[in-house]
């Protein structure tokens, strides 16, 4: 053991990963999490007899760091990845319900890859996509090939709006809404036209134009809390990490002897001292906590935030046999059958996931109900015969940073201007968008950076401040 101790502020995926890495490097680790559970926004809570995920989170087969973390936590067997990328896309023929038809007409498309090598694996799916005309599909293929040539690491690519770039390559607004938005809005939590070209290119090239199995979709088969809270606490405890829940960090100070000290909001007289600190919290919180030590206001404050809203509907009977589906021409973006994960014994529980949800984040539940129940019925006609037994909404106001042009220059690396203080979080510069994969990668980066900084340094005289 090194004899040094570190504090990890934040118990989301980034903090969990950093804590494991630092503990395995020989440090004594204390984790401080403001909430009463681990997992950050990717966790669960009880509602009656059900266990509800705060939001719908999926991953792709190319998300190797996240899958490695699940294996490290001993829960890799509790997620399932598609054998082949396969998405059902629903589009109401009568989006406003003006026709008065007793049974709404729904157009259905299927995007499924073949066994051909990438990018040919999606050629058949695109060629047969019925929501676009043949000429539109051809222009999509040309734009996708052009996107492969975009240097996502170049600053110039991060200064361009995706919508403008696509429009210049023959992608009409109709095509952008019916196809491109399917992938961009949910992946970047940003309106498709407003997204950074650099980040969009990263997503498309890595997931859809890379290896043929890269975009195969994975989901938890149990509540997220089983993975990111219960299993994480067990794994951290087994390693000897001290986990303190409901412990919100107020600020980080310089302690006597060169150590860092974390002041807790609930116990301001108590200082948690450490030779190094990982700030694994969202950017606004990181700026507030580290503010007293930083010489200047951090540029990352300009990253902003983008919300996600999840609308949860429980029916008294099954209304669809689809495990999940995407929607276009509807306020619904994605809908998932959560019955199994939540433990619903009868009926069906559907969760509508709404990314870039600025229009919905402050909308009252009653208005959301009035909007989304009819929208579901236009996509899933069987829902009209069901009785809604529960309807509720979860909101993440600052789910991700706003992934628009200009943000690449604002995303910091792990190191800060304060020796021994490092950053983690999917908002840091990981080369990935703000996703679970990006969060895990940032935790690895933070652990490596702090280990490097503390290597060979004498143990700080932290005892003087305890």
Query: String of b and e for 357-390 (b: at least 16 CB within 10 Å)?
Result: beebbeeeeeebbeebebbbbbbbbebeebeeee
Q: How far apart are CA 87 and CA 336, in angstroms?
A: 12
Mean pLDDT of all residues in 2-27: 94
Tokens encoding 3: 């004899």
User: pTM of this prediction?
Assistant: 0.94
CB atoms within 10 A of CB 282: 24
Q: In this structure, what DSSP letter does residue 331 have?
A: S
CA distances from 223 to 10, 33, 53, 227 (A): 20, 20, 6, 7
Q: Is the pLDDT of residue 99 over 70?
A: no
pLDDT for the residue 97? 59
CA distances from 164 to 123, 135, 180, 309 (A): 25, 20, 13, 27
pLDDT for the residue 364? 98
Q: Is the pLDDT of residue 249 over 60?
A: yes
Hey, what long-range contacts does 127-132 have (CB within 8 A, 24 or more apart)? Answer: 129/179, 131/89, 131/91, 131/107, 131/178, 131/179, 131/328, 132/175, 132/178, 132/179
CA distances from 13 to 2, 121, 227, 229, 399 (A): 25, 32, 10, 10, 14
Q: Given pLDDT bands bounded at 50, 70 and 90, which one contains residue 292?
A: confident
Closest CA to 433 of 264, 197, 208: 197
Tokens encoding 122: 């999606």
Q: Given pLDDT bands bounded at 50, 70 and 90, which one contains residue 465?
A: very low
Q: How far apart are CA 79 and CA 73, in angstroms?
A: 12
Mean pLDDT of all residues in 242-256: 93
Whether residue 74 contacts residue 231, with contact meaning beta carbons closer than 8 Å, is answered with yes
Residue count (the chain) = 466
Whether residue 197 contacts residue 150, with contact meaning beta carbons closer than 8 Å, is answered with yes
């Amino acid at each position: 053991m090194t004899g040094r101790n570190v504090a990890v502020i934040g118990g989301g995926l980034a903090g969990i990963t950093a804590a494991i890495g630092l503990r395995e490097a020989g440090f004594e680790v204390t984790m401080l999490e403001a909430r009463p559970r681990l997992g950050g926004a990717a966790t669960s809570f009880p509602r009656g007899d059900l266990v509800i995920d705060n939001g719908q989170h999926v991953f792709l087969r190319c998300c190797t760091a996240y899958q490695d973390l699940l294996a490290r936590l001993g829960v890799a067997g509790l997620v399932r990845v598609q054998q082949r990328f396969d998405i059902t896309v629903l589009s109401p023929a009568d989006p406003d319900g003006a026709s008065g038809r007793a049974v709404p007409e729904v157009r259905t498309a299927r995007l499924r890859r073949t066994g051909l090598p990438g990018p040919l694996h999606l050629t058949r799916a695109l060629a047969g996509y019925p929501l676009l005309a043949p000429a539109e599909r051809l222009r999509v293929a040309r734009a996708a090939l052009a996107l492969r040539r975009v240097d996502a690491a170049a600053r110039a690519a991060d200064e361009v709006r995706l919508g403008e770039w696509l429009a210049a390559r023959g992608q009409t607004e109709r095509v952008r809404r019916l196809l491109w938005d399917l992938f961009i809005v949910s992946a970047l939590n940003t309106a498709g036209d407003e997204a950074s070209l650099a980040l969009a290119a990263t997503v498309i090239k890595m997931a859809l134009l890379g290896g043929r199995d890269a975009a195969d979709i994975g989901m938890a088969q149990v509540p997220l809390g089983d993975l990111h809270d219960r299993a994480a606490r067990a794994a951290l405890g087994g390693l000897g990490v001290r986990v303190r829940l409901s412990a919100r960090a107020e600020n980080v100070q310089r302690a006597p002897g060169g150590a860092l000290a974390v002041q807790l909001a609930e116990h301001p007289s108590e200082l948690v001292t450490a030779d190094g600190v990982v700030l694994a919290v969202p950017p606004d919180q990181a700026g507030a906590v580290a503010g007293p030590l930083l010489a200047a206001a951090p540029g990352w404050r300009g990253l902003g935030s983008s919300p996600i809203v999840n609308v949860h509907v429980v029916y008294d009977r099954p209304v669809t046999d689809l495990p999940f589906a995407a929607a276009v021409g509807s306020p619904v973006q994605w809908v998932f059958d959560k019955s199994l994960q939540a433990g619903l014994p009868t009926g069906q529980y559907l969760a509508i996931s709404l990314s870039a949800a600025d229009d919905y984040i402050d909308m009252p539940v009653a208005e959301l109900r009035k909007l989304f129940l009819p929208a579901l019925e236009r996509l899933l006609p069987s829902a009209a015969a069901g009785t809604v037994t529960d309807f509720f909404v979860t909101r993440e106001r600052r789910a991700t940073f706003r992934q628009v042009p200009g943000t690449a220059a604002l995303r910091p690396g792990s190191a800060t201007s304060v020796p021994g203080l490092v950053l983690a979080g999917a908002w840091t510069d990981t080369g990935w968008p703000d996703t679970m994969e990006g969060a895990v990668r940032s935790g690895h980066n933070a652990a490596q950076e702090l280990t490097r900084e503390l290597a060979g340094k004498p143990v700080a005289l932290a005892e003087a401040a305890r």
